[in-house]
Structure 1
Amino acid sequence: MSQSWRLQAACRGLDPSIFYPSSDAEEDAEPAKAVCEQCPIRQACLEHALTRREKDGIWGGATEKERRRIIRQRRRTA
């Protein structure tokens, strides 16, 4: 699957550490989520993380805990 969508990412060129906060606290994730909120490819990024079961970082505006919740919800409705 092509990942050319990454070229349009709002996070491109930013310090990656923003997207890997030291804790799972919501306030630590806010800077990354603010970038994701403005991103034109947010959904593609989130789907990538869900498909690959990314364990770390903020992807598509979602923390690892939030992504697990999304996966559980999708299983229930499938």
Structure 2
Amino acid sequence: MRDARPAENTEPERGRALRRLRDQVAAEVAGGTPPPCVVDPEGGWTSADLDAAERAASACHRCPLLDLCRGYVADWPESAGVWGGLTASDRRAVERLKARSAPS
């Protein structure tokens, strides 16, 4: 994950970042390699059920946009859903580890 959010942490910038991600998703679909979240939109990506979310996160690891998606959510945290192969719980755990390892 990235260490810092963009200097301009504003909603318009967040919207542009999300549009870039969506544009890449559309390009992958057009190129014949749709991401797993597009192939199976009901596959647990937004599920509150931890098992379903973990299955969805596992499917992300074969996605051509894994790094881009993970970068988006590192810069613009989402409180729910699977992003970049990480469940919301996974992302919170990463944030706790980063906080513990940060210099005082």
Return the TM-score normalized by structure 1: 0.70
Return the TM-score normalized by structure 2: 0.56
Q: Percent identity over the alignment?
A: 24
Task: Summarize deviations over 1:27-46 as a string: whole Å, max 9, x none.
Answer: 22233123201111112111
With 12-21 and 51-60 compared, the bigger mean Cα shift is at 12-21
- How many residues align structurally? 76
Unaligned runs of 5+ in 1: none
Query: Which has the higher Rg, Structure 1 or Structure 2?
Result: 2
The ranges of structure 1 where at least 4 consecutive aligned residues each deviate by more than 4 angstroms after the TM superposition are: none
CA distance in 1, matches of 2:79, 2:41: 15
Unaligned runs of 5+ in 2: 1-16, 29-33
Residue equivalent to 2:42: 17
Task: Summarize deviations over 1:9-49 as a string: whole Å, max 9, x none.
Answer: 513533433201132x2x22233123201111112111211
